[in-house]
Structure 1
Amino acid sequence: MKVESVGFGDGARIVWQETAGLSIVTIKRERVKNAMTPEMWRALADIGRKIEDNKKIKVVILRGEGGQFTVGSDIKAFHQMSIQDADAAFGYMEEAITTFEYLRIPTIAVITGPALGAGLELALSCDLRVGTPQAALGIPIARLGITISQRFAQRLVNLIGPSRTKDLLFTGRFFKGREAYELGLLNYVAEDEEINDFVLQLSESIQKGSPNSLQAAKESVARCVPFTEVAFGHRGFPQYVDPMDFPEGVAAFVEKRPPNFHKK
């Protein structure tokens, strides 16, 4: 087994394991529910590019440490940033997500707890999602003054339709494991004590297929989905934060109070 690890100074790590055609990428920052800093997003994108270049890998599993996936970007990291730096940080996030989205090989997200905001988008970038009944999926961006891009919205619309996407984005509510499965956000639900074995068996089943057939299937399905074909290879990112509401949303999050957003 080949193991690589990238550290970030506060105990956070991203670990990449490779064995028998399988790559397992694990986000480790358990004390803050695997929240991702800009440096972690950039490292994750680099790992995705290494996986793309490694022709021995047939399936990728993406997961979080400590009974959770990731709550997305670390909001506290934005507290001292300028709007320009915050927008650049969101660009790093989107680059990591799209890098995994456009991998030529099948990818599986393992969701054993919260997958929120950019964490949910990261899970949606994978081809398949396996969760536990305790999984919680949601995007509470409206509470933070984050302006969602078309690319972000489209991933949700493709799976659950425009009306339910609006419900999720407007209210910020979370879909738990079984409900997320019924909506189509999860492909499978497995009990916590069974999920690791289940995912390994799923990956083994996929690896039995022809690599060329799997790649062709992935690309053909992608080109049937609205917006995806246009997005392939695109690396330009929009503004992600509202200049007035985002600083207030972040300050309110850090100070644990309701935000006082600008009234139009």
Structure 2
Amino acid sequence: MQVKTMRLEAEDAKLIYQETAGLAIITIHRPQLKNALTANMWDQLAKVALRVLDNPKNKVLLIRGSGENFTAGSDIKEFNSISLEKAEEAFIHMERTISTIENLPIPTIGVINGPAMGAGLELALACDIRIGSEKAKMGIPVGKLGITLNNKFAKRLVDLVGPSATKDFVFTGRMYKAEEAFKAGMLNYLVAEKDLTRFSIRMGKLVAGMSPASLLAVKNSVKECVDSVPAIWEGSTPFVDQTDFAEGVRAFVEKRQPNFAPRQR
């Protein structure tokens, strides 16, 4: 197995890249912050994902988090030290990375052994198949942060769970536990944690043995069938609300409930 590690801001923040038997594996490793990704990590993740295509032997990409987390999404604490404009730019980079992975011309499998939250949920939903253990949790608690979902972001949820459940996720900040996520179609497979790695590798090899032409064709055909939303996310609804986002991030850092001001309609 070939292993490449991309070290990022600190020794404990890195992306681990492996290649073995037709599979490429990216592991997000930042355990002290639930594998949350900084803006730089999102950019690096896109570069690593595209690097998978440099080796024609790679037939399938697996994305996972280290330990008992997939990823908590973007690093909210980072936003407390930058301007709203920089925060908006960071979210745009995040969406570009997720779309890059979503549009790769090879199958992608998300391996979820813990929470996949916020942008981490979106990253999981961008994968073609998701395999979870009983420790998987999936949610998008953006309502506490003043983060706004534009059509591109919301569509991934709507495609799987429907409009009402998507709004329920944001309105209430609820999470689906593993069994709920499986029943809702957010997880394709639910296996015991002790079997997760072995099962995921086996599934990856199974998919890798299929016709590359068939795999690419079904990815493109399915996208055409369900992609009724134009790619207008950038420049339409922003990710950062000019008022609520600042209060939401401060409340997160200060570990308190946010105090959002009433809004005129």
Q: Normalization by structure 2: what TM-score?
A: 0.95
Shift of 1:4: 1.9
Match of 2:252 in 1: 253
Per-residue deviation, residues 114-173 of structure 1 (Å, max 9, x unmatched): 000000000000000011112110000010000111011100000011011111111111
The equivalent of 1:99 in structure 2 is 100
Distance 1:124 1:237 in 2: 23
Cα distance in 1 between the residues matched to 2:83 and 2:212: 45
Mapped pair 1:6 → 2:11: no
Is the Cα contact below 8 Å between 1:95 and 1:235 reproduced in 2? no
Gap runs ≥5 in structure 1: none
Residues 62-109 of structure 1 deviation map (CA, whole Å, 9 limit, x = unaligned): 000012100000100000111100001101111110110000011000
Give the drift of 1:235.
8.2
Paired-residue identity, %: 49
Q: Give 1:30's aligned amino acid.
A: P
Q: CA deviation at 1:50?
A: 1.4
SS at match of 2:6: strand
Equivalence for 2:85: 84
1:187-223 alpha-carbon deviations (Å, 9 max, x no partner): 0000000111111111111111111111111111111
Structure 2 CA distance for aligned equivalents of residues 20 and 14 of structure 1: 20
Distance 1:235 1:254 in 2: 28
Partner-residue secondary structure (3-state), 2:98: helix
Map 1:26-175 to 2 at 5 A.
26-175=27-176
Matched position secondary structure for 2:186: coil
Q: Is the 8 A contact 2:151 2:233 kept in 1?
A: no
- In the aligned structure 1, how far is the partner of 2:235 from the partner of 2:136? 29
Q: Deviations over 1:209-256 (max 9, x none)?
A: 11111111111111110336x43xx78454210000100000000001
RMSD: 1.3
CA contact (8 A) 2:23 2:61 kept: yes
Rounded Cα–Cα distance in structure 1 between residues aligned with 2:98 and 2:68: 21
Alignment size in residue pairs: 261
2 CA distance for matches of 1:128 and 1:227? 21
- 2:113·2:136 contact (CA, 8 Å) conserved in 1? yes
Contact kept? 1:83, 1:241, Cα under 8 Å: yes
Give SS of 1:194's match.
Answer: helix
- Give the TM-score normalised by the residue count of structure 1: 0.96
Structure 1 segments of 4 or more deviating over 4 A?
none
Segment drifting more, 50-59 vs 217-226: 50-59
- Whole-Å separation in 1 of the counterparts to 2:235 and 2:220: 22
What CA distance in whole angstroms lies between the structure 1 residues aligned with 2:71 and 2:15?
A: 12
Match of 2:209 in 1: 208
* CA distance in 1 between partners of 2:74 and 2:106 (Å): 25
Cα distance in 2 for partners of 1:141, 1:261 equals 13
